[in-house]
A and B are shown apart, each in its own frame.
Chain A
């Protein structure tokens, strides 16, 4: 059981380049999400998905695309990288929120991808 895996761990891009950050989980979680973490700010939600074929925008979606063709995978695409996208990116998964008495379930995070855009 690998949990949540992310690749790559580090990436340097030039402005205007595109790339895909990969995220996979083997826990059959319905809910997956992408966050970015910047100094002095909390984790901010970029995009999320509540199941295969369903995605939605989070707090800071501009410049990013996602798709969810399978339950396991949730890639994040940077269309045309900008220096403002320099950040650490985390993928997370959980059982679909709303189950259980609390309406929530523990989040499992990937190890993160440190992205620098020059």
Chain B
């Protein structure tokens, strides 16, 4: 069993829909990262959080430490949101991140 699991693996939505991507992890963590990988391959950090909720524009990330679960929400989705979204966790010791396999999101016009 992977330490970090994302669902769904693939997600297709219509423009304007509300999107939710889930991340579950099995280890104690000090922080969780959400990353976006563009179709061209570049990877960008979206959020880093250790508790509660963060919002940036149409993106919202939440984390429940007790349930070992995080969600990434996209409101009013747009075709330019089409990308792979990756969840990664940092354990309670050391510097390393463990990554989920990613969720491929396609938003159709």
Q: Which residues of A contact B (CB under 8 A)?
A: 31, 33, 35, 40-45, 48, 50, 58, 88, 90, 92, 96-98, 101-109, 111-112, 114
Contacts and interface: CB of A to CB of B under 8 A. Distances in A.
Contacts of A44: 99
Given A101-B50, A103-B90, A111 B42 contact: yes
Given A31-B95, A58-B96, A40 B101 contact: yes
B48 A104 contact: yes
A42 B102 contact: yes
Given A97-B90, A101-B50, A106-B48, A43 B99 contact: yes
Contacts of B19: none
A33 to B, nearest CB: 8
Contact of A43 (B45, B86, B92, B94): B86
A102 B30 contact: yes
Interface residue tally on B, bucketed by range: 20 to 34
25 contacts: A31-B95, A33-B96, A42-B2, A42-B4, A42-B102, A43-B99, A45-B96, A48-B96, A50-B95, A92-B43, A97-B90, A97-B94, A103-B90, A104-B48, A104-B90, A105-B48, A106-B33, A107-B35, A107-B97, A108-B45, A109-B42, A109-B44, A111-B42, A112-B42, A112-B43
B50 A106 contact: no
Contacts of A98: 95
Contacts, number: 70
Contacts of B33: 104, 106-107
A95 B24 CA distance: 26
A103 B50 contact: yes
Contact of B41 (A58, A92, A112): A112
Interface of B: 2, 4, 30-31, 33, 35, 41-45, 48-50, 86, 88, 90, 92, 94-102
Chief secondary structure at chain A's binding surface: loop
A42 B45 contact: no
A92 to B, nearest CB: 8
Contacts of B44: 109
Q: What 8 pairs between A and B have smallest CB-CB spacing?
A: A104-B31, A42-B99, A97-B95, A103-B30, A102-B50, A109-B43, A102-B31, A43-B99
